[in-house]
Every structure is written in C-alpha cells, then in structure tokens.
Amino acid sequence: MSVSEAIKVHWVQRVLDWYDHHGRKDLPWQQQPTPYSVWVSETMLQQTQVSTVLRYYQRFIQRFPTLGELAVTPVDDVLPYWAGLGYYRRAHLLHAGAYYLVRKYGDVLPSTLQDWLEVPGVGRSTAGAILALGMNQRGIILDGNVQRLLARWLGVMEPKGSSKFLKILWQYAEALTPDHHGREYGQVMMDLGAMICTTRQPRCDVCPIKEDCQALEQGIVADLPVPRASKQVAQRRRHALLISDGEGQILLIRRPGQGVWPGLYVFPELPEWTEHHEDPWDYLSYQGSRPRFQGRLQHRFSHFQLDWILWQLDSWGSVGDVDSLWYAYTQVNQQPSIAVPSPVAKILKELALTRQVFCRKYQKELPGLVMPPFPGTRGQKIFEQVSQQAWQEWLRHQTMLINENHLNVMESSTQTFLTEQLEKFLDNSDYERPKGYVPPKS
C-alpha cells in the first residue's frame, strides 16, 4: 500500500486547516500537556466519552499531579479516584505502568515508541497519542473514532476489529501522518472521529475530507465500519446481599485483584445458590433475618451481562475470611469514599435517599420510633403494637411504592392509596414473600 505525496499533502492540509478553525483546544489535558497527563487522559478515554472523563480527570490529576506521586501511592488509594469510570483494569495498569516507568527511568520519561510500548497497559494507539499530544512528535493514533473515520474515507469493507481491517487502517494511518505538527495532527484525527464522523448522524456536509470520501460517494456511510457478527452475550445471574447493621451501615467486601471489578468494594453475593437451593428466599430466610426482595439491577460488561437480584437483610452469620468493611451510606450526593463500581454506587445512593426520606418525614435517625409517628388512634396503635423493625419495613415499602409508581405525595389520591396500604400493613405486619418477586427457574 502506498499513498502518493500529493494525496498525503492534500489530506494533511485539509485536516490541519479544519483544526485551526474548529478543533478542540480547551480540554483540560490539552493545557500544558505532558506525556504523563496525556497518558492519564488517553487511558481514561478508552471506551469512555469525553464528557464522562471530564468529571474524573481533574480530580485524578489534582490528587496525582506527577508520575512519581501516582507510583508511590498504593493502588487501593488510587481506585477511589477511578470509581465510576468502569473498566477498572485500566486503573491497575496505569498504576503498574507508573511504577514501571519510575523504576526504569526515574524523572526522565522515554521518548520513543518502542520504549512506551513496553509500559504495562500502553498499546500502539496510546503510545502514538503520548508521542503526538504529549511530546509534539510524530505519533500515530488509531483509537475507535479514528478507525471509523478512516474506514469510511477509504471504504474498507472488512469487518470492524478484524486483523485485515486493522492492518489496512494502520498502514494508511502510517502513510498519511506527517512528520510535522505532531500535536495538531494527532488532535485533529481524534476530533474528526469524535465530532464529525460520528457513529450516528455523521456531519458529512461540513467534513473537510468529504470530496474523496469513499463511503459518502458510494452512499454507504451508515454501513461502515461493517459490524462483526454479533455474539450472544452471556448472562450471569447473582444474588447480591444488602446486609445492614440497623444503624445506616452496609456490609461491603473487597473483590480480589483480578477478574471483574478488581480490588473494588461490592456487596456480598450468593454465587451458586441454584445448585443447592430451590428458592433463594428460603435459603436467605434460614441464613439471615427476614430477607426483603429489593429488585433487580442489570449491568453490561464487555463480555457478559450481570443480572443482580438484590436482597436486603438485617443480619448475616459471617462472610468468612475476606476483606470487608461496614460502609455508612448516609450522603446522597457524595462520591463514596472507597472504591466501588458504578452499580454499587447507584444502590448506595438509593439507600441513602430512602434513609433521607425516612428521616425528613419523621425528623429522626434510625432506629427511630420513640413516640407515635403521627397523632390519632392509628399513630398510637403503631407506637404500641408495631415493632420498630416492622415499622421501618413499612417505611421502606412505602418509599418503594412512591418511587416505583412515581407517586406525588402531595396529591390526596396518593394519601388515600398509602393509607389503604398502611391499613393492610397494620392488619398483617408480619413479613410476607414480596408480591413482585418470582423465583427464577433453575
């Protein structure tokens, strides 16, 4: 494959000219860029949108302003600054890479592609970005967005991600990259991929390379890149246990350093219950006190979908010899102070919200109920006859009813509905198997 000098010059002129007028120049990692800051931002940007990374980059770089600072910090103290970004292996590799670089090079970072490719977690495109954006050298960037741009411009019909597809794109990316304007050229490739040649609704009318774009000429823009044959995504069902201590703390255990969510804190799970138990409700009733079905939550990983069935429990025997802690889930709007994956953060936030609704209404912290919750015979009956635990259970149930049915608590119809529910609860305040819960088929 060869690209004539004339084609290359024409290509470079057009894209650099577009960059002058429209390219992004105010992203935080573009301000006084260094190989370190570019490496951090590029690692965060893998599989993640710029808008998401913006929320994490500043916080991370303020805490770890230098490579040395990152290298000497235990990875456990780094993970909270990554929590929520997903793909946590990236954080582990970034940390391992920092350690490797400081040990091997000290303060002076490498300046060749080959040396950067030896750093843990640094692939060809990231190394190219570090050279181009961090050092203003010639560096070739071929992230997912640039792949789409080139695949369309060239009219590549090979399936996306296949070795042939990547071979063609790397060859053209090499051939088209100039020896000058390393930083601007690297940035414009990323900008055109992210801002103009987008997956949906590409803006071909304002694209600087539209005049010789093969996909546009052939009317197949929407068909490129050709997707790979889709694989059936495996499902993993797990029962997650929200075990509380009755004082606003919940039990979290730390995952091992490998596999899914390495080193992060998650809820304990019942992984293989189907082998031994027909129905987890029976099992949990035996093991812990009064399991309450909380709902389901699905989370998509790159290679499988996690289907979490959530149970709330007031106690549990023992989680065994694992790294665990009791976490206070009181602040709705605060980032968790420990590293938790986003589904756990979401549930902690919901638990905090439930607690806040409860506290705001009754002006009390858990475990509450030292006086009738409201005047009149019903309030007195609750105070005298209903256990605190049962009353709290009703409050949780009421909150769930409000949230799940999107009820407006100010409306009289809602008040009537909740009063009816409360009467039913008072008539039979023992715990029932929840109505919405259908035992899964084994």
Contact residues for ligand SF4, defined by CB under 6 A: 149, 152-153, 196-197, 202, 204, 207, 209-210, 213, 215-216, 221
Nearer to ligand SF4, 96 or 220 (CB): 220
Residue with smaller CB distance to ligand SF4, 189 or 369: 189
Q: What would the two tokens of residue 417 be?
A: 């509905």
* 42 given a catalytic annotation: yes
Q: Which residue has the tokens 């790294």?
A: 323
Within a 10 A sphere around the Cβ of 64, how many other Cβ atoms?
22
Task: List, in sequence order, every residue forming a beta bridge with 307; answer none if it has no partner.
Answer: 237, 298
Question: In the complex, what is the shortest distance from the CB of residue 9 to ligand SF4, in angstroms, rounded to a whole number?
Answer: 18
Query: Edge to edge, what strands does the sheet with 324-328 contain?
Result: 265-266, 249-254, 324-328
Residue 239 sits at φ, ψ, to 5 deg, of: -100, 115
DSSP annotation of 196 reads: I
Is the CB of 208 or the CB of 336 nearer to ligand SF4?
208
**Which residue lies nearer to ligand SF4 by CB, 14 or 238?**
14
Q: How far is the CB of 198 from ligand SF4 (least distance, A)?
A: 8
Complex with ligand SF4: residue 53 or 215, whichever CB lies closer: 215
| Minimum distance from residue 151 beta carbon to ligand SF4 (Å) | 9
In terms of DSSP bridges, do strands 249-254 and 324-328 run parallel, antiparallel, or are they unpaired?
A: antiparallel
What six digits make up the tokens of 231? 């694989």
Query: Which candidate in 42, 184, 350, 393 is catalytic?
Result: 42
How far apart are CB 2 and ligand SF4 at their closest, in Å? 21
Structure tokens at 9: 């010059």
Interstrand relation of 304-313 and 234-243 (parallel, antiparallel or unpaired): parallel
Q: How far apart are CB 39 and ligand SF4 at their closest, in Å?
A: 28
The pairing of strands 269-270 and 292-300 is unpaired
Identity of the residue numbered 35: P
Query: Catalytic site residues?
Result: 42
